[in-house]
Amino acid sequence: MLRSLVTWGIGLVSFVGIVKAQGTELPQDPTGKVKYEAVVHREGLSADSLQKLALKWINSFYKNPSVVIKENKPGYIRVEHKFEVFDVDAKTGRKYKAGRIKYTLVIKFKDGRYKYELSDFKYIANRYIPIEEWLNSKDPKHQEYLKQVNEYATNLISSLRQFIKNPPVPKEEEDW
């Protein structure tokens, strides 16, 4: 009996942390803001070496890393960036730019682990619109934008995790 109550309680806690927007699951923090976060263990690596790997990833992932890195201090990196969202013309099926989504990525480092937090998603129009305003929207455009945010976020996180898990091996220079 107690075991089933604990299992049910864990399931309820898990359910509260994710909101489903027309088939797209978006993680939320306790305040209701969309937030992707996790602690990733990398035993045997110091905080400094993890931070160096994350900086190498930032340099490979972003076109202009010096512009997107807003803060870089021991144990902490903060990145701010934007990406495009697209509308699809129903008649032609052609995609066109609909706007940009601004976000913040924070990566924290400790010996043997790092934590990423991807949050503060805002649609840039004539004002910043938090994407949380779209979570209960029935507008198909809003649902499509949320789907694109989720795809971008999961690709970014996957890229970061994969890079730190399997960093590229530097090429050996020929000995002349």
11 pLDDT tier (thresholds 50, 70, 90): very low
pLDDT (tens digit, 9 = 90+) per residue, 54-78? 999 999 999 999 999 999 999 999 9
Match 């090429």 to its residue by tokens: 171
Among 6-20, 32-46, 117-131, 132-146, which is the least confidently predicted range?
Answer: 6-20
14 pLDDT tier (thresholds 50, 70, 90): very low
pLDDT at 1 over 70: no
Residue 169 lies in a domain: no
Q: Mean pLDDT over residues 99-121, rounded? A: 97
- In terms of Cβ atoms closer than 10 Å to its own Cβ (0-12, 13-18, 19+), residue 80 is middle
Q: Which pLDDT score, from 0 to 100, does residue 23 have?
A: 58
Domain encompassing residue 150: 24-164
Residue 40 lies in a domain: yes
CATH number of the domain that residue 132 is part of? 3.30.530.80
Residues contacting residue 45 through CB under 8 Å, at least 6 positions apart: 53, 111, 112
CB 118 within 8 A of CB 156: yes
What is the token pair recorded at 109? 């480092």
Residue 176 lies in a domain: no
Structural domains in the chain (count): 1
Residue 78 lies in a domain: yes
Q: Which pLDDT score, from 0 to 100, does residue 168 have?
A: 85
Residue 131, by phi and psi: left (phi above 0), alpha (psi -120 to 50) or beta? alpha
Q: Mean pLDDT over residues 120-145, rounded? A: 92
pLDDT at 19 over 70: no
- In the chain, the percentage of residues whose pLDDT exceeds 90 is 69
| Torsion sign, CA atoms 87, 89, 95, 97 | negative
115 pLDDT tier (thresholds 50, 70, 90): very high
Residue 143 lies in a domain: yes
Residue 44 lies in a domain: yes
Closest CA to 124 of 82, 156, 89, 154: 82
What per-residue string of b and e applies to 30-59 under the rule 16 or more CB within 10 Å gives b? eeeebbbeeeeebeebebeebbebbeebbe
Residue 93 lies in a domain: yes
Residue 109 lies in a domain: yes
Q: Which pLDDT score, from 0 to 100, does residue 108 have?
A: 98
d(CA 60, CA 27): 26
C-alpha torsion 169→83→106→146, nearest 10: -120
pLDDT (tens digit, 9 = 90+) per residue, 94-109? 999 999 999 999 999 9
